[in-house]
Amino acid sequence: MWDTIIITPFINVMMFIYTLVGQNFGVAIILFTILIRLVTHPLTVQQLKGTTGMQELQKDQRWIEAQKKYKNDKEKLAAEQMKLYKELGINPLASCLPTVIQFPIIIGLYQSIIKSLATSPIELLALTRHIYPGFLKISTLIPLNSNFLWMDLGQPERLNLPFLSFGIPVLAIVVVITTYAQSKLMQPPSAPGSNDQAAAMGNMMNIYMPFLMGYLAYTLASGLSLYFVVSNVIGILQYAMLGKVNWRNLLPSSKASKAK
């Protein structure tokens, strides 16, 4: 079911792009990631609207007062919250539903890349079953040209320089930087009266997530690292186009200004 609806169509579209761009799998990953992000762009916009609405609620004086007034009465607080949702025109599901829909698409995209980079007989056999016979020809797709710049996209990436005895994991470093930049740029400014615990959790995620992604990029096939980088950059661009990027968050001074 999952394969039929998500993985197989994804692999075929990605392979189709691969044949269109002169059998360059690196370019195919980049273009396919852009395509998926464009298709899911309306969901991103909807998610952003929902998040903005929730942030406005946090700043609303009536909500701040209601929280104080009904701090020991959860039922009344919930009723007040629903009332404010109606008044402010907020759909509480608007921020999480797009995420729920996008999540399997992103996982599907990731799995499609993995499956396309078949590096063992069992993986190649599985790949042959994903290809629509009338649409693409296995004989022209295999072997997949996994060379891109200095990388073999089926292997973890290292840049070997003649004067160094070890390879530099350039892509893993770029993944860490772009993941960190993305999470910092998308972090909304903290509202007065906002929950400290939530802010602490957000900061923790901003630190751990880039290292987790960096570790994955360091150990897994570089085709995935390329996807991580492209996905991060497009994510930043999408938010920038919607005017929701806080460039000041990247500056060290912004932390100090917040503390004041």
The residue ranges that bind another protein (CB under 8 A) are 96, 99, 103, 107, 110-111, 114-115, 117, 119-125, 128, 138-139, 142-143, 147, 154-155, 195, 197-198, 201, 205, 209, 212, 216, 219-221
Residue 70 DSSP class: T
Cα(246)–Cα(117) distance, integer angstroms: 37
CB of 256 to another protein, least distance (A): 25
Q: In sequence order, what DSSP letters do the residues of 36-50 get, joined into one string?
A: HHHHTHHHHHHHHHH
Which among 118, 5, 95 is positioned nearest to 45, based on CA atoms?
Answer: 95
Residue nearer to another protein on the CB measure, 207 or 241: 207
Cα(86)–Cα(211) distance, integer angstroms: 40
Residue nearer to another protein on the CB measure, 42 or 195: 195
Q: Is 194 exposed, middle or buried (0-12, 13-18, 19+ CB in 10 A)?
A: middle
Residue nearer to another protein on the CB measure, 89 or 133: 133
Residue nearer to another protein on the CB measure, 71 or 260: 71
CB of 13 to another protein, least distance (A): 19
CB of 251 to another protein, least distance (A): 26
b/e map 146-160, b = 16+ CB within 10 Å: bebeebebbebbbee
Q: In sequence order, what DSSP letters do the residues of 102-140 get, joined into one string?
A: HHHHHHHHHHHHHHHT--SHHHHHHHHHHS-TTT--HHH
CB of 206 to another protein, least distance (A): 12
CB of 255 to another protein, least distance (A): 21
Residue nearer to another protein on the CB measure, 174 or 256: 174
Cα(254)–Cα(252) distance, integer angstroms: 5
CB of 252 to another protein, least distance (A): 26
Residue nearer to another protein on the CB measure, 206 or 254: 206
CB of 26 to another protein, least distance (A): 15
Residue nearer to another protein on the CB measure, 129 or 260: 129
Q: State how far the alpha carbon of 133 is from the alpha carbons of 12, 117, 124, 126, 136, in Å.
A: 10, 19, 15, 14, 6
Do 172 and 224 contact (CB within 8 A), yes or no? no
